[in-house]
Amino acid sequence: MTSSGTPSAAGRFPAGRRAFPHRDLVGIAQLERHEILYLLEEAEQWVSLNRQSAKHTDNLAGLTIINAFFENSTRTLLSFEIAGKRLGADVVNMHAAQSSVKKGETLIDTAMTLNAMHADAIVIRHGSSGAVELIASKVDCPVLNAGDGQHEHPTQALLDALALRHALRERGQNADDFTGLTVTICGDILHSRVARSNVLCLQALGASVRLCAPPALMPQGIDAMGVEVFHDFDAALSGTDVAMMLRLQNERMQGQFIPSAREYHHLYGLTAKRLAARAPDALVMHPGPMNRGVEIDSDVADMLDRSIITRQVEMGVAIRMACLDVLTRKARGVAGWADGEWV
């Protein structure tokens, strides 16, 4: 593990390239390692700001950000809204019931409508994989993916990486990345966009990723993504540095995937006993919302020394501020970010 005292993002991306040459943030799959690191570094300033009593800047003053959520969300929507407001932007939330946009051209028409209102950034959550890329191809402003179907949820993976980095630093591990670290993601992998984005992000930062789920909830071909696949949670947990628990996405399940919640808990629930036996020092993460007593026990979720679940939420605001800031720099004419300028 390499360590760096004062992070200097500018020194780590290839010469002659923009620090973040993307208009949109549709997925981790489109990002290079140095671009992920750049966003994490950019977020640090917002972590500090968010811990002050006065949490406001005017960086994005005058800009309009539309949060277009075609699928229900509480925490992600709130997090994006707070992020935009703390940057000084005018934030508008659009709740569109999934049913009203499923037919015909309506989704594209909605995108065109938002575009015609001169949004400066659009944050989208949608129930169909690929919907965010489709919208991004039709609008003229940066588009941020706040979760599309079972595809990607890039800001979640970024905030997880930032929360993990902070937790490791507190333990005296000051590496920039996660080389040598083993992360076990356990739960409903099949329906999880969080899992997909996290696999890509953690691997880009050097971690080894284990995935654990019953066969019916493990997508076929996922081993081609370079992960280790487990069905036995105890084996997956043994010696892991991080246990990331996912909830069962019952709303996405068609048919029965597991016999019952208590049986699931028996096989895959993260209990204090299991943790002590298999990975006594592991950090515990969960993207929320948690189903306490199903995939994670309350005493584990609330462990002060190792559960970083609330810190993940904290880092979410900072990461989203960083993403909104970076993606709007070109439109705001920030030096070095216009066409033809190189950082």
Partner 1 sequence: MKQQAPLTITGGRLVLPDGVTSGALRLVDGRIEALGDVSPQDGDEVVDAAGQLVAPGLVDLGVFAVDKPAFHFGGITRAALMPDKSPILDLPSRVQYVAYSGKPDFWVHPLAAATRGLEGRELAELALMQQAGARGVATGRGWIADSGVMLRLLQYAAMLGLVVVSHAEDAGITGNAVASAGEMATRLGLPSAPAEAEALAVARDIALAEMSGARLHFRQVTTRAAVDLVRAAKARGANVTAGVTPAHFMLSDLATAEFRTFARLSPPLRCEDDRQAVVAAIGDGTIDVIASGHDPRGPEDKRLPFADAEPGMAGAETLLAMVLTLVRDGVISMERAFDLTARTPAQLLGVAAGELAEGYEADIALIDPEKPWIVDSRKMEASAGNTPFDRQPTQGRVTALFKGGVKVG
Least distance from partner 1 to the Cβ atom of residue 11, Å: 32
Shortest approach of partner 1 to residue 70 CB, angstroms? Answer: 10
Alpha carbon separation from 245 to 28, 62, 172, 218, 297 (Å, rounded)? 20, 39, 24, 14, 11
Q: Which of residues 133-162 bind partner 1 (CB under 8 A)?
A: 133-134, 148-152
Cβ nearer to partner 1, comparing 11 with 104 = 104
Q: Which of residues 187-206 bind partner 1 (CB under 8 A)?
A: 193, 196
- Cα–Cα distance, 332 to 97 (Å, whole number): 32
Check binding of 97 to partner 1 (CB under 8 A): no
Give, as ranges, the residues between 279 and 338 that touch partner 1 (CB under 8 A): none
Q: Where are the alpha helices (DSSP H) in the chain?
A: 33-50, 75-86, 106-116, 131-136, 154-170, 193-204, 233-237, 261-268, 272-278, 298-301, 309-327, 329-332
Span of 13-21, 221-229, 238-246, 285-293 interacting with partner 1 by CB under 8 A:
221-229
Q: Should residue 104 be labelled a site residue for partner 1 when binding is judged by CB under 8 A? A: yes
What's the N-to-C CA distance of the chain in angstroms?
28
**Does 256 engage in binding with partner 1 (CB under 8 A)?**
no
Which is closer to partner 1, CB of 47 or CB of 218?
218
Judged by DSSP in three states, 253 sits in coil
Residue 216 CB coordination number (10 Å): 12
5 versus 255: smaller Cβ distance to partner 1: 255
Residue closer to partner 1 (CB basis): 222 or 313: 222
Q: In the set 66, 83, 107, 213, which binds partner 1 (CB under 8 A)?
A: 107
Rounded least distance, CB 16 to partner 1, Å: 27
3-state secondary structure of 3: strand
| Number of residues counted as binding partner 1 (CB under 8 A) | 28
Q: Which residues pair with 155 in a beta bridge?
A: none
The owner of tokens 């169909």 is 128
Question: Facing residues of 175 across strands?
Answer: 3
Distance of closest approach, residue 211 Cβ to partner 1, in angstroms: 11
Binding track, positions 109-138, relative to partner 1; x by CB under 8 A: -----------------x-xxxx-xx----
Decide if residue 254 touches partner 1 (CB under 8 A).
Answer: yes
C-alpha separations of 273 from 51, 95, 102, 270 in Å:
34, 42, 45, 8
Closest distance to partner 1 from the beta carbon of 82 (Å) = 27
Phi, psi of 261 (to 5 degrees): -65, -35
Identify the residue whose tokens are 């990975």. 279
Backbone angles phi and psi of 124, in degrees to 5: -125, 135
Strand partners, 210: 184, 228
Contact residues: partner 1, CB under 8 A? 29, 102, 104-105, 107-108, 126, 128-131, 133-134, 148-152, 193, 196, 219-222, 224-225, 254-255
